[in-house]
Amino acid sequence: MARIVLGVGASHSTLMNTHWDRVVHTEDAERFRDALGEARDAIAAARPDVAVVVGSNHFRGFWLDLIPAFTLGVGEVVGAGEAGTPKGPQRTHPAVARALAEALIERGTEVALSARLQIDHGQTHAIQYLLRDLDVPVVPLVVNVFAVPLPRPDRCVALGHNLAEAVRALPGDLRVVVIASGGLSHQLPWPADWRDPQNADEEFLVEAWLNGRGEWERYDERRRAIITAARPVIFSGFDERFLADLESGDLRRYASWTSADIERAAGNGGQELRTWLTMAAALGFAPGRRLAYAAMPEWLTGMGVAMVEPAGTAP
């Protein structure tokens, strides 16, 4: 029987690739990077046949002309390649992806399907650091966390539960790793509501989000300038509590939170925690283990890495 053999949650930031030389908190940055390496080694030791990468998309693969709550890549997957992240076709497993899609829909999670999915660092950062040099195909599962209205956290938990059942329904003895990419707390200089931009920068961003299909790079220089000029806002107290709840197997309690609850506690970038909830639910909310946490103002984000092993996992 196919089964999930490991879950990993990891923050992402392209500033790791582009702004390492500007890091002041060097020890924290190195500890986070080393934890990514530790998680990568644990993935290798788990010998997965496929990795389901649950992540967000930052309007380089989805735009406001069409942005579903959940999307599964069931065919070709292409990395956008922004800021030194993997670019071009990624190794995939379409047969597994399509079987998972059918099983998810049968179980009540109506995922959108993409036979040619472009992903950005919401997925490729994990491929770059957690699957480095591992010959493991990916199945990307993209969660909308930025274009309101957002899927409710409890629906993300249901997605995770259904994903676990869908994996168990796969033929053969496939070993599956589930990776959550995103978070922890951070505040992006993005409009709170794309329907109501408040200044020239927000108007520009909404224009980029609406019209970027096929030409997102035309907007990218100013987009990154807006991001890198932002004042860091990190809620490290929340991050510590969230990771403590992961370690005790208590992330289920966030299923009752609203988007407003998440933003108050963890900033608008904290909406990416939906990916962690999906992963944790797929692992049955088993107690996990924190590998590292660092509040990194240079990367605008509370950076965490953790692993969850399902109860009774055989070596």
* 77-134 residue pLDDT tens: 999 999 999 999 999 999 999 999 999 999 999 999 999 999 999 999 999 999 999 9
The answer as to whether 173 is a domain residue is yes
3-state secondary structure of 218: helix
3-state secondary structure of 263: helix
The answer as to whether 195 is a domain residue is no
CATH of the domain at 161: 3.40.830.10
The answer as to whether 169 is a domain residue is yes
3-state secondary structure of 262: helix
> CA torsion angle for 44, 45, 50, 54 (degrees, to 10)?
-70
The answer as to whether 226 is a domain residue is no
Quote the pLDDT of residue 312. Answer: 58
Residue range 171-193: average pLDDT?
A: 95
The answer as to whether 259 is a domain residue is yes
Total number of domains in the chain? 1
The answer as to whether 193 is a domain residue is no
Global confidence as pTM: 0.96
3-state secondary structure of 131: coil
Within 13 Å and on the Cβ side, how many CA atoms surround 122?
27
* 216-266 residue pLDDT tens: 999 999 999 999 899 999 999 999 999 999 999 999 999 999 999 999 999
CA 171 to the chain's CA centroid: 27
> Which segments of 3-52 does DSSP mark as H helices, in order?
15-18, 26-46
The answer as to whether 315 is a domain residue is no
Domain span holding position 64: 3-187+236-308
Within 13 Å and on the Cβ side, how many CA atoms surround 105?
11
The answer as to whether 82 is a domain residue is yes
